[in-house]
Chain A
């Protein structure tokens, strides 16, 4: 075997080892040492990681075509049985959900959480999980001995889920369902536009309507799901991207060369005082930096000083236009 092939073999062995549940700090130190030994190790590892991510990203889009087209699958019985069981379980879940739905009308079991525009709140659930609600978010949760179910009716929430293999943690957002496999993750919903990002661990995103048999996606840190009116896409999300998407948890909005119009949109999610852009020519101005989400006036002053734009204060609005 050539030297390069040997290094490749070690790199893939690291990738597999790293996924062990007992991966420790000393293992990590060993890997780091191996990586610093030579650039050849480093590039082989990057290449494997890149390939790994690509396989995962594609595997995540396991459309029906993927499993159907695999031949010699007859020996795959245990799994199809499992799948059938899962379907049955899904049916039971739907049943129990409708019961829960009924209960909700009776006022039992369902907890409601609402934040106003500009609000930001962390709530503990009964199982030890935490949900952090961003601005203008409506959410319902039912946590009992058998299941943990959350409906995100609108807005954005970050979940830190207590591990419990017996009770899956399921988040419903529109026509998508996020099944948690033990993790920290973010769900954002704006009508039928849904985004899911993972900070730690892995989650599965699938369609709620079993009859439609839409694809499901398993995502891990580094990936995100964007779903809109029935279609779903898995895209890359670098750790920096996830970090900046989660900046609201610290009360900040972070932008990297975002257009003024999308920045305004973000600010408007957090404030009753809305930014209005009066001139299409400036809506593409690029904005970078991190800003206090609730301080729209400070942002207005910055636009005036640093970008030379005209900013007019009206009652509930901030009008942005080009300087005369």
Chain B
């Protein structure tokens, strides 16, 4: 049995950095994009719980083997197994072996990614995130500067950080929201602009 603090640290240090590769693997091998968030969560739960029992000596092969097994289980559970799915399963063997070591992401690349992620946010939301995270202002200071309530600042932070994190970790940077009537049809309004 591993100590939870150690497993947390391992998870953050070794598993989460694999997310871009992992999502690429899922996208290649799974048709339905809308399942991806759930697949990812299910996989992370399995990996974490197995980590509690004992950390693998090599994280990467372990993670991709688990990802592959997860997809196989889902295909088996599905009532209709299409020829395509089976064909993909065979291809997955290859896919696992072909996962190349991630190119070293330089700080500059990451910075550029952050820039793009920020630009994807609606203006007000971006402003809040920049004041909080980059200028280092407190929530109260941001609220005062923009003459809005602290709860509005919090709301923008939630939308903004979530979108930014998903973007930086290899997702789309779009936020899922419950559709609200006919509003929010413009591209940016879907991203948490109140």
Chain B positions near chain A (C-beta within 8 angstroms): 8-9, 11-12, 16, 19, 34, 37-38, 40-42, 44-45, 47-49, 107, 110-111, 113-115, 118-119, 123, 126-127, 130-131, 133-136, 138-140, 145, 154, 157-158, 161-162, 164-166, 168-169, 176, 178
Interface-lining segment among A17-25, A168-176, A289-297, A305-313:
A17-25
Q: Is the CB of A52 within 8 A of B165?
A: yes
Count of chain A residues near B, Cβ 8 A? 54
Q: Which residue of A lies closest to B43 (CB)?
A: A43
A208 in the interface (beta carbon within 8 A): no
Q: Is the CB of B12 within 8 A of A50?
A: yes
Chain A positions near chain B (C-beta within 8 angstroms): 1-5, 7-9, 12-13, 15-17, 19-21, 39-40, 42-44, 46-52, 54-56, 58-59, 61-63, 65-67, 69-72, 75-76, 78-79, 82, 181, 202, 204, 218, 233, 238
Whole-angstrom distance between the Cβ of A235 and the nearest chain B Cβ: 10
Whole-angstrom distance between the Cβ of A269 and the nearest chain B Cβ: 29
Whole-angstrom distance between the Cβ of A112 and the nearest chain B Cβ: 31
17 inter-chain pairs at a CB distance below 8 angstroms, sorted by A residue, are A2-B34, A4-B38, A4-B41, A16-B157, A17-B154, A43-B45, A43-B47, A47-B165, A48-B161, A48-B162, A52-B161, A55-B168, A56-B133, A58-B110, A59-B133, A67-B134, A79-B131
Q: Is the CB of B9 within 8 A of A238?
A: yes
Chain B residues with Cβ under 8 A from A13's Cβ?
158
Q: DSSP majority for the A interface?
A: helix
With beta carbons under 8 angstroms apart, the residue of A15, A59, A75, A79 that contacts B114 is A59
Across chains A and B, the number of contacting residue pairs, with CB separation under 8 Å, is 133
Q: Is the CB of B8 within 8 A of A46?
A: yes
Q: Is the CB of A75 within 8 A of B110?
A: no
With beta carbons under 8 angstroms apart, the residue of B37, B44, B110, B130 that contacts A54 is B110
A261 to B40, CA, bound (A): 44
A218 to B135, CA, bound (A): 8
Q: Is the CB of A61 within 8 A of B111?
A: yes
Q: Is the CB of B37 within 8 A of A16?
A: no
